[in-house]
A and B are shown apart, each in its own frame.
Chain A
């Protein structure tokens, strides 16, 4: 398989996953804000913090108001992490490798991009937002389903899966970090709402129901962190993602370097008692994981993709 094709498949999956996760985060935050009293609600800034694009945001917008943040995250094509930009990028990556992707999946990627563009104005309104985001999430799940269910599970599929889980691991750590860091101060006044915020973290990941089934205890910080970082059974947990990255890597040639870097990630995760980390320690731990994910991407790119001077993507 050509390196360029592998690289395009990998980015196709990453951008698609990025679009879906962004839609999840926005959706859940919107719901959360409805439940919190006005004075103590953290507002919309944390969503931009999650994407790490604060500098870019502040270049173009005066304040972190709902409308501004919404536009930035959903439809601002100057922001490469916006849902619309991510879908455009997914489509561009798919365009040159149409022979490798089932036709129905390509068509679905096309129509999802179209949906994101045409529905944007409605999606930016308060009452149009929920159905718009639901459509994006479902559309992305549909594409993943088509790919899983109809694509040849060959080397190309491994790269698609690698991209998907790497991006998902990355997004999950960001969600945990920012949501927990900007959660309300630990005072008596807000304690009644603490629970609600951890429910929101879980819901960002569609993890609430699965958490209840697997943990069978009430929603509280420690077990929630344990679940979303370490559950070996939940397909959006960091552990699940890293495990599946390892399975993909093992099927690829010349995989020694990438397996080594992935092994380091596994050990970082194993070594930490995530349930009992303080806020600061959690933040440092997420930094460590993010660096590890970055290293893994670097190793994958160096081993299998076009050298950077020959590469147009990424």
Chain B
């Protein structure tokens, strides 16, 4: 196989590597020619080597099968990295910090005076119908006033090159372990490219996460007891829970490992007896956290945990109730929310969004459904959503009925022409659509990952990037602008490997 960029059909979309067919973006020309110099066969060999590494390293994710069982699958990874210039990324980081800061102020306000509703900026109706608003959290003051300590926001790039925020995940966002593992794999299989491009490192995430969590500890101890609470081995993100616990040096616990004592403190059951827990990085959904406060049938949670949290004896990250801002209808208000609390213009824009609760908008959505993406407010993983251009009349009819039944529960957005990145498909390199999930940590300070997890829709033309639905992933490189230029100027390329005895 030869790599020939003039054979690469990315016209009509924004490709992250090529400006148009046969013509690499000026700032990334060197990478494109490096790939070409490496040769297609060698690239395929690297892809294969990466897949072997992933199996050896045991990087997997769990999918639920139709029979009700679960299957462990090797993590899908594509060897060609997605490159973003550092200058652009710095601006995005600022924008994400701004956004999460505003969202935390918003959540805190909703559970206290609801000033934003009083002031008529955010409709009361949206709040009362929110399934993620937790009355149990009203009046609570979590440490530092922060509710969403770990946020994963999905970014997409449209045809004109603009990066938009597509959604914010404020409950239990996952994927960060794969961002870290993708980098390790790329280092193994593409070391020579690292020498030239020096992508900014991502490996400090686990220690940043630990510092974020430790900063919240209710006890001023030098080593607060931080634990990761998992629903257990059969959860689709169990790999990540175990990975992060291990990387942070924290215990990985299940609900039955913890109990709340008469003193309203949370303890874990250890061989040495009960040990006080300060901070719980919980990867269990709100409603399963505490059978006393939420679902009484939950076997995943800890009875009395909300009591301990309210008393300020243990910190839950993210805080219960933070998901209220994770709703796709709330999303549509984020630009207003940023202006309201920070008196700033949003740095990274929202995708233009039609709120079906507004009669004019609903009318437009019903009339233009075939061009739009319609999403229910509280689903994730791509479930329950309709992609207009790819839909059948029957699907649209069903969605029309659903929207009419409960307009509050739906939003619609124009079908974005998601950007593409060259991807190894069988024996060819073809453009495939991508998104990007960076992670934002908030405690005494805010930090944004250097890049994030790039997910790629492996089916031709598909926009669905979720790994549960056939998506893949790529390493994401934030490359210093100076380096891109220098390398291009020197005109070096990767040496083709010559085998000798």
- The chain A residues found within 8 Å of chain B, CB to CB, are 1-4, 6, 95-96, 98-99, 155, 159, 252-254, 304, 306-307, 310-312
Contact = CB atoms under 8 A, between A and B. Distances in A.
A144 to B, nearest CB: 22
A259 to B, nearest CB: 15
Contact of B256 (A253, A304, A312): A312
Contacts of A312: 256
Given A99-B242, A310-B256, A311-B256, A304 B233 contact: no
A3 to B, nearest CB: 4
Contacts of A307: 269
A186 B246 CA distance: 62
B242 A3 contact: no
A2 B273 CA distance: 9
B276 to A, nearest CB: 14
Given A4-B256, A4-B257, 13 more contacts: A1-B270, A1-B272, A3-B269, A3-B271, A4-B253, A4-B254, A4-B269, A96-B233, A253-B271, A306-B256, A306-B269, A310-B256, A310-B257
Query: Can you list the 5 inter-chain pairs with the closest CB atoms, starting with the nearest?
Result: A310-B256, A3-B269, A1-B271, A253-B272, A304-B271
B253 A2 contact: yes
B271 A306 contact: no
16 contacts: A1-B271, A2-B251, A2-B270, A3-B270, A3-B271, A4-B256, A4-B269, A6-B271, A98-B242, A99-B246, A99-B252, A253-B273, A254-B272, A304-B271, A307-B269, A310-B256
Interface of B: 232-233, 242, 246, 251-254, 256-257, 259, 268-273
A155 B273 CA distance: 13
A4 B251 CA distance: 11
A1 B253 CA distance: 11
A155 B242 contact: no
B332 to A, nearest CB: 41
Nearest to B274: A3
A289 B162 CA distance: 76
Nearest to B245: A99
A197 B204 CA distance: 65
A3 B233 contact: no
A254 B246 CA distance: 27
Nearest to A309: B256
A310 B232 CA distance: 14
A4 B254 CA distance: 9
Contacts of A252: 271
A304 B252 CA distance: 18
Contacts of B273: 253-254
A95 B60 CA distance: 14
A1 B256 CA distance: 14
Contacts of A159: 271
A312 B232 CA distance: 12
Nearest to B238: A96
B256 A2 contact: no
Contacts of B232: 96
A310 B251 CA distance: 18
Contacts of B246: 99
A96 B233 CA distance: 6
A282 B254 CA distance: 45
Nearest to A3: B269
B268 A2 contact: yes
A307 B256 CA distance: 9
B246 to A, nearest CB: 6
B244 to A, nearest CB: 12
A2 B242 contact: no
B181 to A, nearest CB: 16
A306 B272 contact: no
Nearest to A92: B233
Contacts of A253: 271-273
A96 B256 CA distance: 14
A102 to B, nearest CB: 13
A95 B238 CA distance: 12
A242 B164 CA distance: 67
A223 to B, nearest CB: 41
Contacts of B269: 2-4, 306-307, 310
A99 B251 CA distance: 11
Contacts of B259: 310
A4 B259 CA distance: 13
Contacts of B271: 1-3, 6, 155, 159, 252-253, 304
Contacts of B251: 2
Nearest to B230: A96
Contacts of A98: 242
A6 B63 CA distance: 29
A2 B230 CA distance: 14
A110 B256 CA distance: 26
Contacts of B268: 2
A95 B242 CA distance: 12
A252 B251 CA distance: 20
A6 B270 CA distance: 8
Nearest to A159: B271
Nearest to A312: B256
Contacts of B254: 4
B386 to A, nearest CB: 39
Contacts of B272: 1, 253-254
Contacts of B233: 95-96
Contacts of A4: 253-254, 256-257, 269
Nearest to B252: A99
A99 B230 CA distance: 15
A306 B268 CA distance: 10
Contacts of A95: 233
A130 to B, nearest CB: 35
Contacts of A2: 251, 253, 257, 268-271
A34 B130 CA distance: 75
Nearest to B275: A2
A304 B257 CA distance: 12
